[in-house]
Structure 1
Amino acid sequence: MTGRPAPRPLSPSPRVWLGLIAVLAALVVLVLGVLYAGHSEPGTVDRWFVRPTADTVRPPWRRVALAVDFLGEPAGAAMLVLGTVAGCLLLRSPRAAVFVVVGVGTTVGTTTLLKSLVGRTIHGDNLSYPSGHTAFATALALMVALLATGRLGIDGTAGASLVIAAALVAGAAMGWAQVALGAHYPTDILGGWCTALAVIPATAWLVDRTADRLVDRAADAGRPGRP
């Protein structure tokens, strides 16, 4: 034991601004969910962008969209998560590895629950809101960025900018693929992106609190005079 504290998924610096973003994102998810509950057609905002069809994008960009989409499918997502967890363990940061696993699980679980509650469909009875692929990609990028900026000591505006940029790029890339392939409406993409922004900060806080309590209990048990 070196006595050095384990790296935290959510360092004190970004807690306030990330918490505010999480609250705003949750409100967006709620508002969109209420607006499009039970719908089976694109809304007015969706039509501003594109009317989703099965052939919105043509080769060679269709192959790019399919490749990006694969990263959100079970096999592709599993590879990304396993690679990220392995990287955390190689860096001797088990708390970060737990954060990644719990964060992905919580995000996927939340989108699955919301889809059932909202009941918005596309191409028949396929539940579409919010986009689980977009939520997963955003969540993973957000977690990696939070861990990287924390480990490198990048705080303040620079750290916040990097974290948000990572989430935006990942969400935009996956969202483009989903709309291009006709799997989701544009507002589903926004809902998925905001779901990740709402869930991940809360997950980071929960992981930190739980890990800190376990560390404190272990320290108390190891003190002289304790049973």
Structure 2
Amino acid sequence: MTGRPAPAVLPPSQRGRLGLMAALAALVVAVIGVLYAGHSQPGRVDRWVVRPTADSVRPPWRYVALALDFLGEPVGAAMLVVAAVTGCLLLRRPRAAVLVVCGAVLTVGTATLLKSLVGRTIHGDGNLSYPSGHTAFATALAFVVALLATDRLGLGGTAGTSLVLGAALVAGAAMGWAQVALGAHYPTDVLGGWCTALAVMPATAWLVDRTADRRADRMVDGTADAGRRERH
């Protein structure tokens, strides 16, 4: 053991920016949730983007949408989480591995809870739609991967934050397109899912670092106490 703590998963140079982003994202989630609570039809913004139907896209793009959708289903999501955790451990970033699991669970859990609270449905039959859990999951996973990339590339501040937001936007947009194209969600559901992940992930990353730092401090203190006892 070297006694050095593992690198922080959320760099100090990005905490302020990502914290502000999380607050704004949470506000967006709340506003959209209030606006569409209990609704069962697309709103004006949804109709302006596209009217969701089961056949919004045709092959071969439909196959792409189905493949992306599978990655948000339990089996596909589990495969991605296992791959991401493995990659983090191979890169010797245990905190990032913890964030992958905790972030995915908390983000999807938050989206599921919000669905019950908001009560917005699509296609009837009690199909709760707001926010999109698939979009939230994809965004959360991209968030962690981007944080790893900023660490490997030595990026910080504005550059690092831009990379994180860019990756989250690309992943969220790709999964969101698939959800709308397949008629599973309204466009505003997708925005809500994206913002849910952006609200949850920075807080989760901070908690992972905080917990790991406290554990490392206790280990250091315990080692120091043991050393003193041996000398006496």
Distance in 2 between the 1:133 and 1:165 partners? Answer: 18
Q: Which residue of 1 aligns with 2:184?
A: 183
Q: Which residue of 2 aligns with 1:29?
A: 29
State the TM-score, normalized to the length of structure 2: 0.95
Q: Which residue of 2 aligns with 1:50?
A: 50
Residue 191 (structure 1) shift: 0.1
CA contact (8 A) 1:7 1:151 kept: no
Residue 150 (structure 1) shift: 2.0
Determine helix, strand or coil for the equivalent of 1:7. coil
Give the helix-richer structure, 1 or 2: 2
CA contact (8 A) 2:103 2:201 kept: yes
Distance in 1 between the 2:143 and 2:93 partners? Answer: 17
Amino acid across the alignment from 2:46: D
Distance in 2 between the 1:96 and 1:24 partners? Answer: 24
Residue 99 (structure 1) shift: 1.1
Determine helix, strand or coil for the equivalent of 1:13. helix
Q: In the TM superposition, what are the counterparts of 1:153-172 in structure 2 within 5 Å?
A: 153-172=154-173
CA contact (8 A) 1:7 1:96 kept: no
Computed over aligned residues only, the root mean square deviation of the Cα atoms, in angstroms, reads 1.2
Q: Which residue of 2 aligns with 1:10?
A: 10
Q: Which residue of 1 aligns with 2:141?
A: 140
Residue 29 (structure 1) shift: 0.1
Residue 95 (structure 1) shift: 1.5
Q: Which residue of 2 aligns with 1:116?
A: 116
Q: CA 1:168 to 1:226, structure 2 compared with 1: closer, same or farther past 3 Å?
A: farther
Distance in 2 between the 1:8 and 1:135 partners? Answer: 23
Distance in 1 between the 2:229 and 2:33 partners? Answer: 52
Determine helix, strand or coil for the equivalent of 2:12. coil
Distance in 2 between the 1:127 and 1:226 partners? Answer: 60
Q: In the TM superposition, what are the counterparts of 1:202-213 in structure 2 within 5 Å?
A: 202-213=203-214
Amino acid across the alignment from 2:107: T
Aligned length: 227
State the TM-score, normalized to the length of structure 1: 0.97
Amino acid across the alignment from 1:104: A
Distance in 1 between the 2:135 and 2:229 partners? Answer: 49
Identity %: 78
CA contact (8 A) 2:99 2:208 kept: yes
Q: Which residue of 2 aligns with 1:81?
A: 81
Amino acid across the alignment from 1:184: H
Amino acid across the alignment from 1:174: M
Residue 225 (structure 1) shift: 3.5
Residue 152 (structure 1) shift: 2.6
Residue 226 (structure 1) shift: 6.2
Determine helix, strand or coil for the equivalent of 1:71. helix
Q: Runs of at least 4 residues of structure 1 off by over 3 A? A: none
Q: Which residue of 1 aligns with 2:197?
A: 196
Distance in 2 between the 1:214 and 1:84 partners? Answer: 24
Amino acid across the alignment from 1:76: G
